[in-house]
Amino acid sequence: MKSSLLLLLLVMALSSPALTSEVEGISKDYKSLRVRIGNSSTKAVLSGTLTIPCHITYQSPAEEVTVGRRAVLATPRVKWSFISNGKEVEILVSQGNKVKINDAYKQRASLPHYTTSKYDVTLVLKELLSNDSGIYKCHVQHGIEDDYDMLEVKVKGVVFLYREGTSRYNYTFPMAQEACIKIKAHIATADQLLAAYHGGYEQCDAGWIADQTVRYPIQTPREGCYGDMDGFPGVRNYGVLEPDDLYDVYCYVEDTNGEVLLGSTTNKFTLSDARDYCKTLGAEMANTGQLYAAWNEGVDHCNPGWLADGSVRYPIVTPREKCGGNSPGVKTVFQFRNQTGFPDPHARYDVYCFRVPVPTEDHGESPSPPAEQVKGVITVTESFEELKLPEAKAENEAQGFVDTFPLNKTEANKLAEIFSTVKDLQELPPQPEPTALVDESVNGDEDLSPGVASFPPYEDHSDDSEESTTIDYKTTAIFRHSQGKPSRYY
Three-class SS of 141-176 = EECCEEEEEEEEECCECEEEEECCCCCCCCECHHHH
- DSSP 8-state symbol, 8: H
270 is a domain residue: yes
Q: Are residues 171 and 230 in the same domain?
A: yes
Count: domains in the chain: 3
Low-confidence ranges of the chain (pLDDT < 50): 16-30, 363-366, 381, 383-412, 415, 418-419, 422-423, 425-485, 487-490
What's the pLDDT at 25?
A: 41
CATH code, domain with 247:
3.10.100.10
Helix or strand run (H / E) with residue 52: strand 50-52
What's the pLDDT at 73?
A: 64
Q: Are residues 226 and 135 in the same domain?
A: no
446 is a domain residue: no
Q: Are residues 140 and 177 in the same domain?
A: no
Residue 486: CB partners within 8 Å, gap ≥ 6? 204, 205, 206, 216, 224, 225, 227, 236
Q: Are residues 292 and 218 in the same domain?
A: no
433 is a domain residue: no
Residue 9: CB partners within 8 Å, gap ≥ 6? 418, 421, 422
In the chain, the N- to C-terminal Cα span, in Å, equals 91
Q: Are residues 227 and 287 in the same domain?
A: no
Q: Are residues 242 and 264 in the same domain?
A: no
146 is a domain residue: yes
78: containing domain = 30-156+384-388
- 456-481 pLDDT, tens digit per residue, is 333 333 344 333 333 443 434 444 44
- 211-239 pLDDT, tens digit per residue, is 999 999 999 999 889 888 888 999 999 99
What 3 state SS string does 243-274 have?
A: CCCCEEEEEEECCCCCEEEEECCCCCECHHHH
Distance, CA of 323 to CA of 385 (rounded, Å): 43
Q: Are residues 323 and 466 in the same domain?
A: yes
Q: Are residues 470 and 354 in the same domain?
A: yes
CA angle 151, 152, 158 (to 5 degrees): 140
Q: Against a cut of 0.95, is the pTM above it?
A: no
Domain boundary among 353, 388, 423: 388
Cβ atoms of 298 and 316 within 8 Å: the answer is no
Q: Are residues 224 and 208 in the same domain?
A: yes
Domain boundary among 345, 373, 388: 388
What's the pLDDT at 337?
A: 87
Q: Are residues 136 and 166 in the same domain?
A: no
439 is a domain residue: no
Domain boundary among 373, 388, 403: 388
CB-neighbour burial class of residue 410 (10 A; exposed 0-12, middle 13-18, buried 19+): exposed
